[in-house]
Structure 1
């Protein structure tokens, strides 16, 4: 759950590229090179154990993108996961503490 301002800051989702529409896994159109050494040409990737790990302020769980709260805690409190701004009124919701 993210507010309108923080929606622009969201990172891209890691999904496979569409086939032959600017995909990096094809040989046509400047994509993948034939007989290329992938260890030498590897770009900087996201590392789950990197130094930029952030933790949720409530449950101390790892947060995958920049922010203060994990998605579970942000939804249960009704706040933006990135900035902490109140987004949703949760007074009438029946939610458990589990």
Structure 2
């Protein structure tokens, strides 16, 4: 759960380019090398989970968030900036 301000910061889903012209996954545009060794070019790969961890439970989080989805919902805060979004005072929640 993110606030309206942080909703603009959310990343896009990476999918293969649909059209051949201008696509980065074809040989013509210079995007992919022929007979490329993927183990050697591994450092350039995109990692969806990165190195960021939740402040509370130390679980890896996606995007550039401070809290994981579970902790953000239980506290009622925005996962990215930590601003109070939801009042959870009357909610009946458990940690299990």
Q: Could you state the TM-score of these two structures normalised by the residue count of structure 2?
A: 0.68
The structure with the greater share of residues assigned to strand is 1
Q: State the Cα distance separating 1:23 from its structure 2 match.
A: 6.7
C-alpha deviation, 1:74, in angstroms: 0.4
CA deviation vs aligned residue, 1:35-93 (integer Å, no higher than 9, x gap): 78585xxxx4322575xx11101100001110110011101110000000000011122
Shift of 1:13: 2.1
Pairs aligned (count): 94
CA RMSD of aligned residues (A): 3.2
**Alpha-carbon distance in 2 for matches of 1:69, 1:6:** 13
- Residue matched to 1:54: 52
TM-score (norm 1): 0.67
Q: Partners in 1 of 2:57 and 2:35 — Cα distance? A: 44
Partner of 2:6: 6
Q: Any idea what the Cα deviations from partners look like across 1:4-23, whole Å, max 9, x if unmatched?
A: 11111111123x45855x87
